[in-house]
């Protein structure tokens, strides 16, 4: 794994839901599309990271 990927994972690990403060899950990640999808375990919040674009899309539910 490349160093930049480790930094991304470290950042992702710190993310929490803005509503319930629970840590976001990353088990929806789509390796085929190279997307990292993070979601609240209670479905409050979802975040999609595009590594190629270095951009986040945040979704409040
Ligand atoms: Zn939540």
Alpha carbons 43 and 32: distance in angstroms, whole number: 23
Q: Could you tell me the distance, in angstroms and rounded to a whole number, from the CA of residue 39 to the centre of ligand 1?
A: 8
Alpha carbons 24 and 17: distance in angstroms, whole number: 6
Residues with CB under 5 Å of ion ligand 1 are 17, 19-20, 40, 42, 44
Of 32, 52, 40, which Cα lies nearest the Cα of 16? Answer: 40
pLDDT tens for each residue of 32-53: 777 888 899 999 999 888 878 8
pLDDT tens for each residue of 9-30: 555 556 888 899 998 888 666 6
Q: Could you tell me the distance, in angstroms and rounded to a whole number, from the CA of residue 38 to the centre of ligand 1?
A: 11
Q: Could you tell me the distance, in angstroms and rounded to a whole number, from the CA of residue 20 to the centre of ligand 1?
A: 4
Q: Could you tell me the distance, in angstroms and rounded to a whole number, from the CA of residue 18 to the centre of ligand 1?
A: 7
Alpha carbons 31 and 60: distance in angstroms, whole number: 23
Output the pTM of the full model.
0.61
When pLDDT is cut at 50, 70 and 90, the band that residue 7 belongs to is: low
């Amino acid at each position: 794994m490349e160093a930049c990927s480790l930094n991304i994972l470290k950042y992702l690990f710190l993310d929490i839901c803005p509503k319930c403060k629970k840590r976001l899950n990353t088990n929806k990640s789509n390796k085929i599309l190279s997307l990292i999808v993070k979601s609240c375990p209670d479905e409050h919040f979802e975040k999609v990271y595009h590594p190629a674009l270095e951009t986040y899309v945040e979704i409040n539910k």
